[in-house]
Copies of this chain bind each other. A is one copy, B any other.
Amino acid sequence: MGQNHPFDKATQLTEETPGVYKGHTSEKYANMIGPFGGVIASTLLRAVLEHPERLGEPVALTINYAAPIADGDFNITATPTRTNRSTQHWYIVLSQNAKTVITGTAVTAQRRDTWSTTEIAFPNVPAAENVALPSIEGAPPWLQNYDIRIIKGAPLALSQTQSNNAHDSTTLQWIQDNPKRNLDFLSLTSICDAFFPRIWVRREKMVPIGTVSLTIYFHADSETLKMNGNREVLGHTRALKFYDGFFDQTGEIWSYDGNLLATTSQFVYYKE
């Protein structure tokens, strides 16, 4: 922890007792209503990482957005529900005014060297410096904290043309913190949620949406994340189905040099 960056301030927690923390939403990471959900997910994970009994590093994380977060103070409790020899399970709750607002589960583990391989190929993309930065004038504050360069699948509001004739919801984007920040589990978690909603890409218009559940599997340890330094990562995502008020968003995050760092999925409420 302890990088002096707006992201670290936004996810900062004050320990009351082990596993019980106080935090505060950050104006810099505000979304249209309430805070950006990615930073909230990172803050719940941070509660686990700062717990004195934590074993190993994060391997799986699920965050459920149960209700809107009000700007202001919140409480987080992170409880180890089961500790094994090399894995540990967690339940995390963010509450405001004694009401549950966000719940989460996490698995941390001590990894061991094993046979390893990646089955999918790194997408064929231009280098980040060759992709234009879109104008994000009028966008919510949190977007100012990212440098996002969309190679394919920008929402219409960010497209240069009248319509990008979206036949599918696929997006490919280079992304990094702005100002730059060294990649770690916390920033990677946020980046997993930093795609525009798939339905905005597919329908070429903004409609009301809200993530109800987000899952991340980490395919890297902290040493591997460090190797990305403060450079960009590549995000790829798409929806498989939109049906009666909910769609999925399934994606991968790659290091700048082609190492698969995380796979992620979320289920999103929409109104149309």
Residues of A within 8 A of B (CB): 59-60, 62, 64, 66-67, 81-82, 84, 87, 89, 91, 93, 99-101, 103-105, 107, 109, 111-120, 168-169, 202-203, 212-213, 215, 217, 219-221, 238-246, 248, 250, 252, 260, 263, 265, 267, 269-272
Is B267 touching A240 in the complex (CB atoms < 8 A)?
Answer: no
Is A116 touching B244 in the complex (CB atoms < 8 A)?
Answer: yes
Instruction: Collect the chain B residues with CB atoms within 8 Å of residue A244's CB.
Output: 111-114, 116, 221
Question: How far is it, in angstroms, between the C-alpha of A137 and the C-alpha of B215 when the chains are bound?
Answer: 37
B202, B203, B212: the one contacting A59 at CB < 8 Å is B212
Instruction: Collect the chain B residues with CB atoms within 8 Å of residue A260's CB.
Output: 240-241
Q: Given contacts A60-B213, A109-B269, A263-B265, could you give 16 more A-B pairs where the C-beta distance is less than 8 Å?
A: A62-B62, A62-B105, A66-B87, A67-B82, A81-B93, A81-B103, A82-B100, A82-B103, A107-B213, A111-B245, A115-B203, A118-B243, A119-B202, A221-B244, A240-B260, A250-B250
Instruction: Collect the chain B residues with CB atoms within 8 Å of residue A248's CB.
Output: 217, 219, 263
Question: How far is it, in angstroms, between the C-alpha of A81 and the C-alpha of B100 when the chains are bound?
Answer: 6
The chain B residue with its CB closest to the CB of A271 is: B114
B118, B169, B265: the one contacting A217 at CB < 8 Å is B265
Instruction: Collect the chain B residues with CB atoms within 8 Å of residue A265's CB.
Output: 215, 217, 250, 263, 265
- A205 CB to closest chain B CB (Å) equals 11
Is A66 touching B91 in the complex (CB atoms < 8 A)?
Answer: no
B112, B220, B239: the one contacting A245 at CB < 8 Å is B112
Is A119 touching B82 in the complex (CB atoms < 8 A)?
Answer: no
Is A67 touching B84 in the complex (CB atoms < 8 A)?
Answer: yes
The chain B residue with its CB closest to the CB of A61 is: B213
Is B241 touching A263 in the complex (CB atoms < 8 A)?
Answer: yes
Given contacts A118-B241, A241-B117, contact A87 B213 (CB under 8 A): no
